[in-house]
Chains A and B, each alone.
Chain A
């Protein structure tokens, strides 16, 4: 390990962080635009060409907003909660490979930050941490709506994490590895969505619940809980929750693209390794469109139905999928 290696890692880490935060800003715009068009509106179209400065304007507005802390709030936890929520979201994508290898300035650079052999366990654990932020935010606000939102987030997360974890098992069994890089390499010829359609659908549904998006946005159900766990937050602290939600959207889309859509693989990626990140981003944009599309279409489902759906339908289906995959791997042989 030489000094160049460390610099390379730092640069790659910063690139991922910048991609996530810039991606957050433009995902909000993307969502507003797509939602607007689905509701037969134009959406934002004033700030800059194609509203490209809208996220900047939103950011400036949020920075200048007054930061309120409720009198009886637990101040330390109240301030820490947005940070606890946003940091896991930022570091999830660290294990996702962006491409194979490129040669830049006479140096072979691997287009992934960390290729750890338990990448999927890492993702599972990190995504679980961010629910602490939401629960703590709800609890420390000293507000009954916020507390209810936080509690709902916890129970929802527990029920959907099981199905989510089990949907990871399919690709793991077929690829024979927990490293995301190995999983992508196993999809060189055929993306796993064709082998694992049920697993892919379960993954999509569970991730919508995981990132608290409509129709599973119970923790922040506006009509019932005003704004759920972030009722008492304003200004940049509120923006951090927003940031966490959107970065998690990007992160789960990236993971979904990596697990089921072949990651950075696409035509000619062997000759031109630079295409890898482009293919991955294109797949992420498509998955994000799906998330927004579902939000634009489906109403929020009732809380007990949400739990019933998670435990009685999604969880058994995920178990069934694991069993079928295991049988398939035994019969046809895995990687």
Chain B
């Protein structure tokens, strides 16, 4: 009985002390927490250093996707109008962010490491239509001196669609 009363006062002291400690709340829109290195946020379609898209439109990501969120349509390309190395490129690339479960299987499936889940987690939409991210939204921006796609490339240079992997890191 007395111990119980003592415990009540101990609890009251605990809450009273907590009231004077610094709150741990992060004031979100003003303060944003850095995400972890392996965080899986919104997808980004990567480019090579010369500006060509890594994505070759093979649809392996779409096949790997357990939520069926990815839609890829590939087309033929020529040296005069080149998007990515090889014969084909992704003419349409769409990810439905309402379906995506951010599992990262698309990253694993990709033979060219073109799709990477990066740190953007601010994915909210006013309607379902705008939840579908198109290729333009997903593609990484071009950093000069690299040129944007389509590029005019010398013939016979970009014939290999999958890059040669030397000492893969992870």
Query: How big is the A interface, by class?
Result: 10 to 19
CB proximity to B under 8 Å, residues A12-58:
34, 36-42, 45
What residues on A are CB-neighbors of B23 within 8 Å? 36-37, 40-42
Known: A298-B8, A298-B11. A293 touches B25 (CB 8 A): no
A285 at the interface (CB under 8 A from B): no
> Closest A-chain residue to B21, C-beta based?
A40
B11, B15, B22, most chain A CB atoms within 10 A = B15
The A-B contact count (CB < 8 A) is 35
Asked whether A293 lies within 8 Å of B18 as measured between CB atoms, the reply is no
Q: Please, which residue of chain A has its CB at the minimum distance from the CB of B17?
A: A38
List residues of chain B with CB within 8 A of the CB of A34. 19
B11's partner among A36, A45, A297 (CB-CB below 8 A) is A297
Interface of A is mostly: helix
CB distance from B23 to the nearest CB of A (A): 5
Complex: A34 Cα to B23 Cα, angstroms: 12
Do residues B15 and A297 form an inter-chain contact, with CB atoms below 8 A? yes
Determine the distance from Cα of A294 to Cα of B8 in the docked complex, in whole angstroms: 9
Size category of the binding interface on chain B: 10 to 19
Which of B12, B14, B18, B22 is in CB contact (< 8 Å) with A294?
B12
Is the C-beta of A162 less than 8 angstroms from some C-beta in chain B? no
B19 contacts A38, C-beta separation under 8 Å? yes
Contact A41 B15 (CB under 8 A): no
A298, B23: Cα distance in complex, Å: 21
- B24: contacting residue among A38, A40, A294, A298, CB under 8 A: A40
Chain A residue, CB-CB nearest to B26: A42
Q: Are the C-beta atoms of B18 and A38 separated by less than 8 Å?
A: yes
Given A34-B19, A37-B19, A39-B18, A293 contacting B24 (CB threshold 8 A)? no
Give 1 or 0 for each of B1-16: 1 = CB within 8 Å of chain A CB. Answer: 0000000100110111
- Separation in Å of the A111 CB from the closest CB of chain B? 33
From B8, B22, B23, residue with most partner A Cβ within 10 Å:
B23
Nearest-neighbour CB distance to chain A for B21, whole angstroms, equals 6
**Which single member of A42, A297, A298 contacts B25 (CB below 8 Å)?**
A42
With beta carbons under 8 angstroms apart, the residue of B15, B20, B27 that contacts A296 is B15
Complex Cα distance A298/B18, Å? 15
Instruction: Show 10 A/B contacts (Cβ-Cβ < 8 Å), sorted by A.
Output: A37-B23, A38-B15, A38-B16, A39-B18, A40-B22, A41-B24, A45-B27, A293-B12, A294-B12, A297-B15
- Further contacts, 12 of them, CB under 8 A, given A40-B23, A293-B15, A297-B11: A34-B19, A36-B23, A37-B18, A37-B20, A38-B19, A39-B18, A42-B23, A297-B8, A297-B14, A297-B15, A298-B8, A298-B11
